[in-house]
DNA sequence: CGACAAAACGTGTATATACTCTCATCTGAT
DNA sequence: ATCAGATGAGAGTATATACACGTTTTGTCG
């Protein structure tokens, strides 16, 4: 038996082409940069903007519920919320059930969301123009299927 | 009900459904967890495994070249490499051009890749089974188009 | 040859992400 | 009424990500 087999190189090349994880992460990196740049004038990252938007719809909302709605780990969400609180865009208050924390938008948060929406729209338009209308629809549908598939695994 | 209900709420709901950034990041989170869990027995995260695999193919390779190949920010890659070096899976040596750093797999790195490949295969199979053959092909094609589109923005 | 631009890389800072533990609170069964 | 188990949340640790800025080395051109 030789010390080291080489025949797995072609197999590794396949990984780069076919690995769902690698390719979806790569896409996420590329896309995130576009939205982060676009949202900079509002002092928001893409993640923060979508989180604020979710809060605006759901408020008052608990951390766990928000984590569920945004499909984010609860502890991750807690840390992301702390950042928004530090920016003065949300308030986090104890609920009736003292274990729960209820999240609310502040005035500054409302302003940031409003500013963010128009910036988001521009970024979204620029990207979807490149994808085409059909391409965008197909992509979003496929991503939804992917999340579903991942849940079932 | 209060008349204070915000008129832009429907618009915000659209964001959650149609925002490419939010949805691709969400998918990346879901998928990453599957691969991270699968690769745990090899002591690797998904990112680390794909990075090691890329190094195995390209070695010896400079940081910048590797960043290009994996479509990762150069500084991000540098930090990811440092972790693998700390684990003893790669070696980073100065090149002839003293500005450059050449990256090599170590024995331990080879072992980790080998172990990772079979674990990766299982995770990939489980996920693509859920997606179906066609679904997987379409998804990967769409993700490639997305990366292209993002580059053009 | 010498000034200067360009290339390759690292550091400081900040955010995003998730696992494991731990703590406080609540709820239901006894 | 009480206690065991469930539930909601935070803290500790580790990794992934990228921008702004700085450093060293190379290449280039007058």
Strands (E), chain A: 61-62, 90-94, 101-105
Residue A2 has pLDDT above 50, yes or no: no
CA gap A151, A149 in Å, rounded = 5
Query: What is the spatial distance, in angstroms and rounded to an integer, between the CA atom of B45 and the C1' atom of D12?
Result: 20
Q: At what angle do helices B107-131 and A20-39 cross, to 10 degrees?
A: 90
Model confidence pTM above 0.75: yes
Are residues B20 and A128, on separate chains, in Cβ contact within 8 Å?
Answer: yes
| Bases on strand D under 7 Å from any protein CB | 7-12, 15-20, 24-27
Percentage of chain A exceeding pLDDT 90? 88
Mean pLDDT, range B102-112, rounded to an integer: 95
Q: Which residues pair with B101 in a beta bridge?
A: B94
Q: Which of A17, A120, A52 is nearest to B6 (CA)?
A: A52
| Bases on strand C under 7 Å from any protein CB | 7-12, 15-20, 24-27
Q: Per-residue pLDDT tens for B41-92?
A: 999 999 999 999 999 999 999 999 999 999 999 999 999 999 999 999 999 9
Separation in Å, CA of B95 to nearest CA in chain A:
24
Where is B90: in which H helix or E strand? Answer: strand B90-94
């Amino acid at each position: 038996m030789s010390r080291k087999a080489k025949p797995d190189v072609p197999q590794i090349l396949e990984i780069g082409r076919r690995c769902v994880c690698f390719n979806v992460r790569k896409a996420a990196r590329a896309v995130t940069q576009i939205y982060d740049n676009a949202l900079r004038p509002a002092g928001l990252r893409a993640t923060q903007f979508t989180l604020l938007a979710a809060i605006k719809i759901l408020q008052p909302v608990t951390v766990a519920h928000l984590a569920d709605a945004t499909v984010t780990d609860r502890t991750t969400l807690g840390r992301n919320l702390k950042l928004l609180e530090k920016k003065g865009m949300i308030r986090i208050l104890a609920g009736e059930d003292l274990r729960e924390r209820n999240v609310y938008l502040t005035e500054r948060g409302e302003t940031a969301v409003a500013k963010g929406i128009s910036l988001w729209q521009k970024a979204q338009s620029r990207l979807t123009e490149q994808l085409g209308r059909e391409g965008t629809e197909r992509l979003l549908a496929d991503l939804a299927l992917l999340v579903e598939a991942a849940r079932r695994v």
